[in-house]
Structure 1
Amino acid sequence: MRIILLVYTICLLVGTYTHARGLVHKGFLAYPVPLAIGLYWDALTVLDPLAAVLLWWRPKAGLWLTLAIMVSDISVNTAVYLAGYFGPPVPHMVPLTLFDQALFGLFVLVTAPLVYKDLPLMNDQTA
């Protein structure tokens, strides 16, 4: 299960890098999207690494936060794509970044119940 947590952590840190890079290069609320979406994307600069830390410090809280991030981020990004904020959507095509994110989200959704079930054992081993 620690390998799964490590995969979660690495992917969350990739997300952190992506959002931090956007803030550094383009600034706060730099994208042509509704304010709530811009705030959400900028907040992921803090939420992604927080989830990564919590996965190891408070695993259940980290797991719930990771699930919430992935479900909400994929939903928001899909809506932004379909709404055409960055250009018209291409029929039968999904942007590579959304596809990658969806694969990670699916991995989290499939493995989270297994990880959650195993967390009490993991905590007993580290105590």
Structure 2
Amino acid sequence: MVRGIVLVYSVGFLIGTYTHTQGIIDHGWLAFPVPLPVGLYWDALTFLDPLTVLLLWRRPRLGLGVATAIMVSDVSVNTAVYRAGYLGPSVPHMVPLSLFDQALFGLFVVVTAPLVWHLLPPIRRRST
């Protein structure tokens, strides 16, 4: 079960890697017209998303924390960007499909991360 959930996380974060890489290819670094901190954050995700996948498989507890933090912050930032109208006018009571998909994935991560954490084998301490 843990491997299956981590596999779903991995696919989601690799899709994020693709999305942010494509954004840089299409619009360059520090995507205009969003504020500089948003552009920096989105560009950083190009590297943080694949790092998260690596951590999920090599250091799963650390990876779970990073994955959760990224999803909470990314959904929040993207929602704020959409609502502010930086990428075009927002439509009342409507959510773009890409933001909806991302929010569902984020919800999946936030809801399942505690379960995965508890199902992981205990951390073995090195004896000195």
Where on the TM-score scale, by shorter chain, does this alignment land: which range? Answer: over 0.9
2:87 maps to 86
TM-score by length of 2: 0.92
How far has the Cα of 1:95 moved from its partner? 0.4
Query: How many Å separate the matches in 1 of 2:9 and 2:60?
Result: 11
Aligned runs of 1:23-102 on 2, under 5 Å?
23-102=24-103
Aligned-residue offset at 1:26: 2.0
Determine helix, strand or coil for the equivalent of 1:36: helix
Take 1:87 and 1:68, find their aligned partners in 2: how far apart are those partners?
A: 27
Deviations along 1:25-71, one digit per CA (max 9) or x if unpaired, are: 32111231110000000000000000000000000111100000000
- Structure 1 stretches of 4+ with a deviation exceeding 6 A read none
Report the count of equivalent residues. Answer: 123
3-state DSSP of counterpart to 1:120: coil
In structure 1, C-alpha distance between the alignment counterparts of 2:88 and 2:102, rounded to whole Å: 19
Q: CA RMSD in A?
A: 1.3
Task: Tell me the residue number matched to 1:105.
Answer: 106
Within 2, Cα distance between the matches of 1:39 and 1:83?
A: 18
Give 2:117's aligned amino acid: Y
TM-score, with length taken from structure 1: 0.92
2:29 and 2:35 map into 1 onto residues whose CA distance is: 13
Larger displacement relative to structure 2 (54-63 or 22-31):
22-31
Say which SS state the counterpart of residue 121 (structure 2) adopts: helix
Aligned match of 2:9: 8
